[in-house]
Amino acid sequence: MHKNLLDYITKRTNSTLTNDEEALIIAAFQPKKLRKKQYFLQEGNVCKYVGFIVKGAMRQYSIDDKGVEHIVQLFIENWWASDRESAVMLTPSKYNIDAWEDTDLLIATTADMLDLMAKIPSFGQMTRLMDERSFIASQRRLNSAISNTAEKRYQEFADNHPQFVQRFPQHIIASYLGITKDTLSRVRKQALKK
């Protein structure tokens, strides 16, 4: 399992990890298996771990007062799952994160992540690159949500994340896009006609 993570770091940073650096990373990340629908994090708990997905799919969501789920993030292999706000601020999470499929993860504590960033330059570089890409993706998603039609939002999503379209059902994708399942169904039918 650790090979996936080590390859991910090497690929993202274009640098080779030393044997000592690899040993530190392997020691910090522990394997964890989640069954479908099993929680990684529950609303109200402080997020203590960061998870690197080796195999499987997960989702991050909140539940409103009417019991409706609102998907804020989707994760698959080679993605990181965590609630950064809760982990950094040490506050109860507003979100649930659970496995949508049986999932194999490597998990590390926030303290271990900070320690690795301080000790391993390429790990710190990888984390900064992830933060930059995450911020850019969040800005794009926000802009799309407030300025694009449902059709354009779905098309951008399908173009940027075709693997998500295959792995997650329509109601999950619709919630992620901020549209109803019926609207998504109509949009997909129109896209197929083109």
pLDDT in tens, 91-127: 999 999 999 999 999 999 999 999 999 999 999 999 9
* Fold of domain 2-120: Jelly Rolls (2.60.120)
- How much is the pTM? 0.91
Question: Which residues share a beta bridge with 60?
Answer: 73, 97
| pLDDT (tens digit per residue) in 31-53 | 999 999 999 999 999 999 999 99
Question: Where in the chain are the domains?
Answer: 2-120
Neighbours of 46 (CB within 10 A): 14
Q: pLDDT-based confidence at 192, cuts 50/70/90?
A: confident
The sheet carrying 58-63 orders its strands as: 39-41, 96-99, 58-63, 69-75
| pLDDT (tens digit per residue) in 117-166 | 999 999 999 999 999 999 999 999 999 989 999 999 999 999 999 999 99
